Structure 1
Amino acid sequence: MKRFLIEREIEGASQLSVDQLVAIAQTSNAAVDSLGVPYTWVTSYVAGNKIYCIHEAEDAETILEHARRGGFPADLVNVVAAEFGPHTADRNPVVATAG
């Protein structure tokens, strides 16, 4: 499966209550269950008027179908090309040498 970053524009997202987030999670889980294909909701982050989600699916069309079934916006859907973090700095770089 591919990993996708989804941006959802939701006015007042950062003011959503815990109960509202629970309801959104329940709706999302139900939408995942209804798809009938491999699909994983990894996590979501709320920042300002946006919710950023990481999901795994075979293709972007499945991501958009999940959004449609859940009644969520999916303003941007991008395949994650690479992941890195502080631990990446510990990896020894490969240095090309001229022959």
Structure 2
Amino acid sequence: MPKYVIERNIDDAGKLTAADLQGISQKSCGVISELGPGVQWLESYVTDNKVYCVYIAPDEDVLRKHGEMGGFPVDAVNEVRNIIDPSTAE
């Protein structure tokens, strides 16, 4: 199943509290359970004004639906084509 990175523009995302992040996470997990077993949230990276979320999903459309159902912005969805890390240089 394809892996995607979703870019979400969220002003002051880096200032969200632990309680805010917990609530957002709970909402996301609730929406995923409604969407069915084909969607898996792996992790998210919170920066000052953006959140980058990594998902496994059958297609981009279901991820956009997740954003719509959860009230999360979806500014870009990019399919991961390859993964590299320092071991790639060996």
| Same fold (TM > 0.5) | yes
For this structure pair, what is the TM-score category when the shorter chain's length is used for normalisation? over 0.9
| DSSP-derived class of the 2:74 partner | coil
Distance between the aligned counterparts of 1:60 and 1:71, measured in 2?
16
Aligned-pair Cα RMSD in Å: 0.8
Give 1:31's aligned amino acid: V
- 1:36: how far off? 2.0
What is the percentage of aligned positions where both structures have the same residue?
39
Give 2:31's aligned amino acid. A
The list of structure 1 runs, each at least 4 consecutive aligned residues, that deviate by more than 6 angstroms after superposition, is none
Give the unaligned 5+ runs of structure 2. Answer: none
Q: Which residue of 2 aligns with 1:62?
A: 62
TM-score by length of 2: 0.96
Larger Rg: 1
Amino acid at match of 1:46: V
3-state DSSP of counterpart to 2:84:
coil
> TM-score, with normalisation over the residues of structure 1?
0.88
Correspondence 1:15-94 to 2 at 5 A: 15-90=15-90
Give the 3-state SS of the residue equivalent to 1:34 in structure 2. Answer: helix
Aligned to 2:82, what secondary structure does the other structure show? coil
